[in-house]
Structure 1
Amino acid sequence: MHNQSDIHHKKMISAISLIILIASFVLVINFGYDLVYGTDQILESSIDSAQLEAQNSAEQISSTLIVLSDISQSIAAELSSGELKEEHIEDRLFEDINSNPEIFGVGVAYKKGAYKKYDESSQNDLLYAPTYSRKNGDPQLFQASYDYTVRYNESDNGPNTEWYHRALIEGGGFNDPYFGSRSNKYIIEYSIPFTTAYADQKELSPAGVVYASYSLEGVRNNIASLESGNTGYGFIVSKDGNVISHPIKNYVGKSVDEISGTDEVFKELTSSISHDTINTVYEAQSGNKLWVFYEEIPGTEWILGVVLKDEEISNQMSQEQYNKKIYLSLAMAVFLASISIIGFTRNGITSRSLWKIAIIISVLCLIEMGFIWNLAMTKPISENMDDIIIYDESGLESSLEKIYVSEMGDLNNEYVDSVIKVPTGIFVQSIEFSTGNDVIITGYVWQKHIEGVNDDHVHGVIFPESESTSIDKAYETEDVTGWYFTTTLREQFDYMTYPFDVENVWIKLWSDSFENNVILVPDLESYESLDPESNPGLEKDLVLEGWEAKESYFSYRVNDYDSNFGIDGYNHQGNPDLYFNMELKRDVITPFITYMIPLLLIALLIFIALFTEVKVDTDPSEILKYSASLMLILMVAHVSLRDSLTASGIIYIEYFYIIMYLVVLGISLNALLFASDKKIPIIDYENNIIAKIIYWPVIMTLVLMVTIKTFY
């Protein structure tokens, strides 16, 4: 009868283990496939989505530019035919700009002496060029402030008049962007010649040019709205190789060859433009990989290039990959445990086979915990942040444009135009945690001088989140001013995963002239590398007691301030705050020795105590004394841990103490029952061997469950 029961139990255990084995094997294959190929699918999805956005953006830009050509061609045709009388030109221009809010300006420029009113010989050198342009969003009438009939060379430093001369020579078409002397904006313009119906000539010759313009801010608004990540960006290049639009304003209007001489990344981005391929380019300074693809803007011969940052796409995928790796490792652990159960029970269930299974399950739980700990320690904090991480100058300018479009809806306003950007750098020499939430930082901070701006009005740095700061001028040249600082920052750190935590120590930087619409931008060119893993801005021999520098980087964050800081008329207007972030990984050796090893020793002592129990002659009071002493040791260590960390809630390592509390109570109860006169089969079986066998698997399984709960 006993043998039949054993056979029945063996068959039941084998059947259940086989079902679990098959299920876990299927999960291993599924999660493994998803992990290997799912990443490529996410990447393809991100690129496909960005390509669709780029197509829509190109069509929107095209539709706006078509409006420019339609308006210009219509006015030119009506002037040439005589349908539009010269005395009604200004009314027509106002009507067109007023009914098309997307255009920036529209005008007519006559040749000298071609305007009917000035056809007398005494006035044949006068110019007539009425133009309606927007100022603060409203159309205003202007007259020519310079002689556009003069064609200037680039070396003459004169106003741009190509819009006029190119149209007379080549006919209607779009001009490369130029900086308008009156509007103080980069302008994209369509111009076309017209003739006069009254001219007493056998062959009509152009009498002037009609033109309609679109502010480059409108194009930048459109491109900034692209779903290309926080620091991805778009640029437009003309058929002649001139830059129509780019986040770096200094590039606009220049040739690709000229920019490529100083910007190796831009050279690579524009070296092989193709509509059918997606190219990859590597940034040497940031170590980032770029994905770039191109779209032709219909109705023009311009190319829109869209750049995606692989780092940002990877960050989007990382959390999903993190979860999948945990799923996969758990499925593999269950799969191996099932194999061990089936293998060691094939010849029957014995104490020896159960010990082997218990050891394997305990080891698998330990390996799984180590795997999850390693994942947690290598996972960047930035994945869970709302900050916009800055990797390069193009990304910097693109991120600012996206912020302003998001906060204000438009780049074409006086506030954005008046923003003063002060390049600011920082170099940290020491970091010390004085308490669980206080950190003392020393180092240098500097600011570049801006040409044409009064340094006294824009320079100076404050640390708005510091408890105390000492800052003294350390050096000053014609180009830069530097200060040495010591600051104590009080920050809320997340110790929930202690001792396997990675903390972000950040320094928030403000200009001490923020009321003058000054924002700080990272002085990227002052760093050899911007790869976060190279720790830019950190002393190479930085001493961090109990910590290791993992990454450092600049970032932006838009904070809402429900105050004008006592300054009448001041409005933060969505200006982002500059942060310098330092990700620090805890050195687990010290807390492991201080807290984990004592816990392990207590667990070993309890396990050894299980083998010293005997059925008779055991004093229950001795069991209680032993349990109480262990409980007291655990509680003292637990309180010491809480005192050393100013953490709210239950941190990860505390669960170890809670588990040990339960273990002490459980083993004490087991010992009392075993020493009693009562007959309890599951406890009395082979001298309490069940408790001994399941001891480590139960502890390890509980710890693994807590680990998954904490780090998942």
Structure 2
Amino acid sequence: MSSFVVAAYGYDLIYGTDKMLESSIDSARLEAHSASLQVSSTLIVLSDTSQLIASNLNSGNLSEDQVEELLYRSINSNPNIFGVGVAYEKGAFENYEVDPQSLPLYAPTYSRKYGEPQLFQASYDYTLENGEEENVPNTEWYHRALTDGGGWNEPYFGSRSNRYIFEYSTPFESTYAMQQGISPAGVVYASYSLEGLRDIIGSLELGKTGYGFIVSQDGDVISHPIEDYVTRNISDISKTDSVLGQITSDISPGTVSTVYDSNSGNKLWVFYEEIPQTDMVLGVVLKDDEVLHYMNEELYHEKIYLSLGIIGLLTSLSIIIFTRNGTTKASMWKIVIIFSILCFIEIGVVWNLTMTNNVSENMDDIILYDESGLESSLEKVYLNDVNTKEATSDSMLKVPTGMFIQSIEFASGNDVVITGYVWQKHVEGIADDYVPGIIFPESESTSITNAYEKDGVTGWYFETTLREQFDYITYPFDMETVWIRLWSDGFDDNVVLVPDLDSYYSITPESTPGIEKDFVLEGWDITKSYFSYKVNEYDTDFGINGYKENANPELYFNVEMKRDIVTPFITYMSPLLLIALLLFIALFTEVKSDTDSSEILKYGASLMLVLMVAHVSLRESLTASGIIYLEYFYIIMYFMVLAISFNAIIYASDRKIPVIEYEDNVFAKLMYWPVMLFLILMVTLATFF
């Protein structure tokens, strides 16, 4: 059985990692493929609608006075269409009563700008080409259809719709226009808001900060979490965003590539899917930490299973080898020594796996590594509730907020004192009416003073005592996270604090951004620092009617740390090891007669007193709730002291118990270390597995 376990889990460790990684990538690829089909089916409605209207106009089956009615029916029956319209050339519409060249152009359009479809007329001269006159909106959608015969237009900001739109346009003919020598008569167009595409891509299950984006064949960004990138070409964006340049260096559908982001420390998994019946490609970016999170957990468990299997296998082999010529006292000693050593090694293996396990305990939160992940996470949060999204999309105030920690001190088991700087940037045109200010919700007491105000940045120096619940169950192998939750001082429900990532030279968590480099925290080693979001729901409106009916994500600055195990081992483990050795030695000093039972009890009581004093000291130093890992060592030693004392009393008495009498109480000596170490191993597995 043990050999089967070793073979099975050994195979999984060698080959299973790649399979789990492939499974994660395949799952994301299926999501991307489904999204590409959804985008395709959504956009094909635009081309089908445009071509159908153009066909009716071309065939003469539709009189021109019925154009507006057809446009209304088209948009009303297709909720995916944001706008649909017909733009006539000058003089191409026959219902002009006077010289058509002197009248405004006729371009009826139904649009969902205000929700329900509404009719709009031409507000600018779309027959002018781009650059022909100053302050003329984009007219490429019109001229491209006339010259190229129609197709998908590059996304642009619609002056009428006041948002980014993606459009399909196609030319059409009319009998009247041809009589006037005008051909084509104009352009039929149907559009889709890029916000709709963002919603489709934002709904992909790509982890908390993974994201998707769409680029056209010409390299123009059609959808991206960072809204400023939309309508820009990737070649221009790559000049300032090197990561996007690496991601888009090879847009080959069907392949998987990796990109290393030196700023965030993330390895990115990138692949592309063609969007059928369009000239666009959907790109998907997965964060390595999120892809490998659950895989690392699985590998952690498999390594423990494998090591346990090896213990079982080696123990079985030792029994077979040393008892092949019969069971003797010497063979039993060899077996228990090997088993005890294996248990001791397994305990060390579990300790080592625990200390080297890089899985963050905050992976359930939204960890923010870069601006793309930030925008993607916000989009996912608000996408979960349509009402929240609609209410906050236009009015949300994103206030960049930074943190620099100069000292952390544990005042008690649950109180931590933190000093440092916090700042906010004034974002022109977005947060002009926002009054800078920060609240620490967990704070018992806070002293905050204005430190500087320069170049649109307001900074404060603070000292705060935070009351936080720390989990000491795995002490002394515990990894704790000190978090600083930040609220806006203005208490406005449309303000979202975002991390000021640009203010850090590196945001790689392992480089501990925002932490003083000469940081001293006695008894701890800082391993990571990073920003994260967490959505907290409250059962009150704080007395403000309608306040935060839909919870905003709250910004956290986290400091992860591992305990320095040297001091706990010297302070608490040394007495335990000494007592264990003394007990074992006492077994060899037992004599059959002339032993006073009271002396045995005194010896056991003295050892028990030492254990209890150390145990109470441990509890007082941590003020932990529940039983922590190291306490089980004391409980096991209590049991061992009682068991050895009871065994010594019986052995010294006149009672004849075969098990105890055999070979001068050899079974007690044989079973001492195996039993104790096996109990410690079981407790270790129960705590860390």
| TM-score bracket, shorter-length normalisation | over 0.9
Does residue 686 of structure 1 match 2:663? yes
Counterpart for residue 654 of structure 2: 677
Stretches of structure 2 that go unaligned for 5 or more consecutive residues are none
Which AA in structure 2 matches 1:39? T
Deviations 1:624-645 (CA, angstroms, capped at 9, x unpaired): 1222222222222222222222
Counterpart for residue 106 of structure 1: 84
Deviations 1:544-601 (CA, angstroms, capped at 9, x unpaired): 1111101111111111122222222323424211111111101111111121111111
Q: Counterparts of 1:296 and 1:454 in 2: how far apart (Å)?
A: 39
Which AA in structure 2 matches 1:615? K
Q: Which of 129, 136, 161 matches 1:151?
A: 129
Q: Counterparts of 1:452 and 1:30 in 2: how far apart (Å)?
A: 61
Report the more deviating stretch, 570-579 or 288-297: 570-579
Does residue 208 of structure 1 match 2:186? yes
Q: Which of 339, 346, 353 matches 1:361?
A: 339
Which AA in structure 2 matches 1:600? L
| Closer/same/farther in 2, CA of residues 534 and 454 from structure 1, 3 Å limit | closer
Counterpart for residue 560 of structure 1: 537
Which AA in structure 2 matches 1:466? S
Deviations 1:139-198 (CA, angstroms, capped at 9, x unpaired): 222222322222223995542221112112212211111112232321001112222322
Does the aligned pair in 2 maintain the 1:118–1:124 contact within 8 Å? no
Which AA in structure 1 matches 2:330? R
Counterpart for residue 580 of structure 2: 603
Consecutive aligned runs of 4 or more in structure 1 exceeding 6 Å deviation: none
Alignment of 1:142-541 (within 5 A): 142-153=120-131, 156=134, 158-199=136-177, 201=179, 204-380=182-358, 382=360, 385-408=363-386, 413-541=390-518
Report the more deviating stretch, 85-94 or 62-71: 85-94
Q: Counterparts of 2:683 and 2:133 in 1: how far apart (Å)?
A: 72
| Closer/same/farther in 2, CA of residues 320 and 200 from structure 1, 3 Å limit | closer
TM-score, normalising length from structure 2?
A: 0.96
Q: Counterparts of 2:71 and 2:388 in 1: how far apart (Å)?
A: 25
Q: Counterparts of 2:621 and 2:359 in 1: how far apart (Å)?
A: 23
Counterpart for residue 524 of structure 2: 547
* Deviation for aligned residue 1:384: 6.0
2:394 alignment partner, SS class: helix
Counterpart for residue 51 of structure 1: 29
* Deviation for aligned residue 1:137: 2.5
Q: Which of 74, 81, 93 matches 1:96?
A: 74
2:240 alignment partner, SS class: coil
Does residue 589 of structure 1 match 2:566? yes
2:190 alignment partner, SS class: strand
Does residue 129 of structure 1 match 2:122? no
Report sequence identity in percent.
Answer: 67
1:417 alignment partner, SS class: coil
Deviations 1:320-356 (CA, angstroms, capped at 9, x unpaired): 1111011011111222223333333344433333223
| Closer/same/farther in 2, CA of residues 518 and 429 from structure 1, 3 Å limit | same
1:36 alignment partner, SS class: helix
* Deviation for aligned residue 1:669: 0.8
Counterpart for residue 83 of structure 1: 61
Alignment of 1:588-667 (within 5 A): 588-667=565-644
Which AA in structure 2 matches 1:225? S
Q: Counterparts of 2:404 and 2:354 in 1: how far apart (Å)?
A: 28
TM-score, normalising length from structure 1?
A: 0.93
* Deviation for aligned residue 1:218: 1.0
Which AA in structure 2 matches 1:282? Y
Does the aligned pair in 2 maintain the 1:430–1:543 contact within 8 Å? yes
Report the more deviating stretch, 402-411 or 266-275: 402-411
| Closer/same/farther in 2, CA of residues 444 and 158 from structure 1, 3 Å limit | farther
* Deviation for aligned residue 1:54: 1.3
Report the more deviating stretch, 569-578 or 534-543: 569-578
Does the aligned pair in 1 maintain the 2:493–2:552 contact within 8 Å? no
1:450 alignment partner, SS class: coil
Q: Counterparts of 1:328 and 1:466 in 2: how far apart (Å)?
A: 45
Which AA in structure 2 matches 1:337? T
Which AA in structure 2 matches 1:556? Y
Stretches of structure 1 that go unaligned for 5 or more consecutive residues are 1-22
Q: Counterparts of 1:486 and 1:623 in 2: how far apart (Å)?
A: 56
* Alignment root-mean-square deviation, CA: 2.0
Deviations 1:673-709 (CA, angstroms, capped at 9, x unpaired): 1000111121122221221121111100000000000
Deviations 1:605-652 (CA, angstroms, capped at 9, x unpaired): 111211211101111111112222222222222222222222222111
Which AA in structure 2 matches 1:214? Y
Does residue 707 of structure 1 match 2:684? yes
| Closer/same/farther in 2, CA of residues 157 and 466 from structure 1, 3 Å limit | farther
Does the aligned pair in 2 maintain the 1:136–1:414 contact within 8 Å? no
Does the aligned pair in 1 maintain the 2:272–2:282 contact within 8 Å? yes
* Deviation for aligned residue 1:414: 4.3
1:352 alignment partner, SS class: helix
Deviations 1:420-464 (CA, angstroms, capped at 9, x unpaired): 211211111111111111111111112222121344515322212
Which AA in structure 2 matches 1:307? V
Does the aligned pair in 2 maintain the 1:474–1:483 contact within 8 Å? yes
Does the aligned pair in 1 maintain the 2:296–2:359 contact within 8 Å? no
Does the aligned pair in 2 maintain the 1:458–1:518 contact within 8 Å? no
Which AA in structure 2 matches 1:517? N
Counterpart for residue 11 of structure 1: none
Alignment size in residue pairs: 689
Q: Counterparts of 2:189 and 2:670 in 1: how far apart (Å)?
A: 89
* Deviation for aligned residue 1:204: 5.0
* Deviation for aligned residue 1:383: 5.0
Does the aligned pair in 2 maintain the 1:407–1:574 contact within 8 Å? no
Which AA in structure 1 matches 2:642? L
Q: Counterparts of 1:627 and 1:616 in 2: how far apart (Å)?
A: 19
Which AA in structure 2 matches 1:496? I
Does the aligned pair in 1 maintain the 2:178–2:185 contact within 8 Å? no
2:659 alignment partner, SS class: helix
| Closer/same/farther in 2, CA of residues 478 and 696 from structure 1, 3 Å limit | same
| Closer/same/farther in 2, CA of residues 88 and 201 from structure 1, 3 Å limit | closer
Q: Counterparts of 1:224 and 1:108 in 2: how far apart (Å)?
A: 32
2:611 alignment partner, SS class: helix
